[in-house]
């Protein structure tokens, strides 16, 4: 089938050949989807992603040699090189697994046994810039994590200053650096400097990780 230039380019990473073959046929039956590569383990998934730079990587977590989580971590670190959005395929959706996958850069988590229609919806949802968790689209991942957080933890500020706490709360609220600078009458460079200090103090490497960390440690609530 000839695909148009607007096709969503997909790489499938799963160690079961029969599953990959079946999934390829299902995906390529859709006129806007094109499978451009396959991988049987995490190492091949990384290679295929680097070589093909697909729009979507469907990544099985339970693969030999290099596990899916390790591949996810390595591919996410290549964000300057590739812009691939990763949808994790898993046999069971557990909160801890969702958190770990999202912290490492995944945009969606789909059950391997999910109906074809749900996988198609997940792909289209992720391509639109949202997240897909289990069986539903999630426009605001921070709200999702706040709703699904379990267990109470005593409030700590991890050595953050009052200004850093304010900026952290703004990150959780989804504000950009420019919006934060405007809110607190700061320059964007000053905001970036504060964010670097915050990342170092709490031990995270991205805005998403920071938002999840703040929610899990009830930091944002301290600013309300």
User: 27 is written with which tokens?
Assistant: 């995906």
Give residue-wise pLDDT tens across range 35-65.
999 999 999 999 999 999 999 999 998 887 8
Which of 201, 199, 194 is CA-nearest to residue 211?
199
| Per-residue pLDDT, 90 | 82
Strands 85-90 and 108-111: parallel
Q: What's the pLDDT score for residue 139?
A: 57
> How far apart, in whole angstroms, are the C-alpha atoms of residue 193 and residue 62?
39
Under a CB-based contact definition with an 8 Å cutoff, are residues 187 and 179 in contact?
A: no
Own/partner pairs, 27-33, CB within 8 angstroms, 24+ separation: 28/1, 30/120, 31/1, 31/3, 31/4, 32/3, 32/4, 32/6, 32/7, 32/8, 33/3, 33/7, 33/8, 33/120, 33/123
Q: What is the pTM of this model?
A: 0.63
14-25 pLDDT, tens per residue?
999 999 999 999
The token pair at 139 is: 């426009």
**What is the structure's pLDDT at 202?**
84
* Residue whose structure tokens are 């809110």: 183
pLDDT at 145: 59
- Structural contact between residues 45 and 82, judged by C-beta atoms closer than 8 angstroms: no
**What pLDDT is recorded for position 63?**
83
Mind listing the pLDDT tens digit for each residue in 144-161? Answer: 555 555 444 445 677 888
Classified as helix, coil or strand, 137 is strand
The tokens describing 190, both together, are: 């000053």
Give the residue ranges of the chain where pLDDT is below 70.
1-5, 80, 92-96, 134-156, 220-224
């Amino acid at each position: 089938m000839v695909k148009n230039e607007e096709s969503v380019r997909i790489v499938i990473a799963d160690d079961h050949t029969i599953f990959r073959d079946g999934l390829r046929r299902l995906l390529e039956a859709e006129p806007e989807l094109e499978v451009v590569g396959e991988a049987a383990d995490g190492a091949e998934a990384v290679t295929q992603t680097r070589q093909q730079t697909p729009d979507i990587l469907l990544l099985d977590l339970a693969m030999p040699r290099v596990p899916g989580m390790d591949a996810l971590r390595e591919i996410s670190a290549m964000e300057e090189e590739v812009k691939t959005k990763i949808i994790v395929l898993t046999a069971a959706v557990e909160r801890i697994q969702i958190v770990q996958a999202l912290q490492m850069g995944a945009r969606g988590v789909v059950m391997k046994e999910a109906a074809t229609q749900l996988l198609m919806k997940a792909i289209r949802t992720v391509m639109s810039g949202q997240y897909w968790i289990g069986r539903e689209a999630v426009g605001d991942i921070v709200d999702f994590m706040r709703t699904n957080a379990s267990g109470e933890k005593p409030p700590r500020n991890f050595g953050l200053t009052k200004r850093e706490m304010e900026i952290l709360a703004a990150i959780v609220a989804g504000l950009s650096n420019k919006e934060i600078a405007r809110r607190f009458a700061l320059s964007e460079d000053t905001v970036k400097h504060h964010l670097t200090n915050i990342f170092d103090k709490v031990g995270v490497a991205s805005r998403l990780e920071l938002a999840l960390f703040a929610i899990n440690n009830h930091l944002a609530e301290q600013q309300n």
